[in-house]
Structure formats: structure tokens, C-alpha cells
Amino acid sequence: MAVMKASKLQARILGLLGKEFDGTYDMGARLLEEMGLPKNGAPEGHTARSAGKLSDDELLALLPEADTSAEVVTRDQARAENDAYWARVKREAKEAAQEREAEKAERRKLNDALRAEGYRWVWLDEEGRDALGGNPWDEDRWALFGPDGKEATVEAARAAIGWK
């Protein structure tokens, strides 16, 4: 992709204000706008062509007060910041996925240990709750049943099998 050069007027104004930039139209326009000036650099009521004919002193007098402390990043800096941001997002997503997988593995180990001790998970829908004498209007859910056939909490089952 071709990069458009800054206009002569942009380069001239930025030079008069002592601002350095990479010579591209995009950075010149962003820098001028950040300073509170028109992006093409022409003072109000002037075209770029007519502003180009003005002397440096006349041109600076016609421009609004500029905030010369403004800074913008170059295209390469913006690309590097963007790449660093997405690398961080990918790394964090990968770490979160690894944490979820570790939690799933731990849960599988616990469920395998519970199953070995005679515990089982049962999906309780309306019919299942009704058969157990529960409220048929409760929400559907998974329930843990112990070897004695009674519903148990995970914490009680963990304690009963001596799970860490």
C-alpha cells in the first residue's frame, strides 16, 4: 500500500512550529488536529494554495493558537503498540484456557474418585424431582447422590472420601 506524503503546507506549518514527524500525510494531519489546527494546515478562509503564498509570519498569525505540546505516534509505533496489545490478549486468553482446562481436569479427578466410592450425578428435571418427592417447580439441575441413595453435597462427599 502506497503511503501518501504530507502536503507542502503541512510540512511547512509543522516545521514552523518545531514539530518533527515522519513525513506522511496521515501523521501530519493527526498531529495538526491534535494541536487544534485544521488537518490540511490552511487557516480558516484560505485554501492550501492561497495559504502557501503567505509569508511565514502571516501564516502563523492567521492560524489559531496551537498546542505545540501535542504528540502523536508514527504508523510504525502504532503498529507495534497494536501488535503488543494483541499479543497480550492472545497470551491472556491462552492462560485463561489453560486455567479452565486445569479446573476441568481437577473436577474430572474428583468425579472419578466419587464414582469409585459409589457416588453418582443425576440430572433432576421435573419428573426426577417429582419421583424423589421434591418440588416439581424447582429448576432443573444436576444432583449428587451418595452410595446410600440420598442426595449429598459436594463438600460432604469430598469429606466422606477424604479428598484434599
Provide mean pLDDT across the span 120-148: 76
Segment 53-105, tens digit of pLDDT: 888 888 888 888 877 777 777 778 888 999 999 999 999 999 999 999 999 99
- Joined together, the cell numbers standing for residue 73 give 505516534
Segment 5-27, tens digit of pLDDT: 888 888 888 888 888 888 888 88
CA atoms within 13 A on the CB side of 150: 5
Distance CA 131, CA 151 (A): 13
Segment 118-133, tens digit of pLDDT: 999 988 877 666 666 6
Where do the domains of the chain lie? Answer: 8-72, 117-164
Distance CA 66, CA 35 (A): 5
Segment 71-81, tens digit of pLDDT: 777 778 888 99
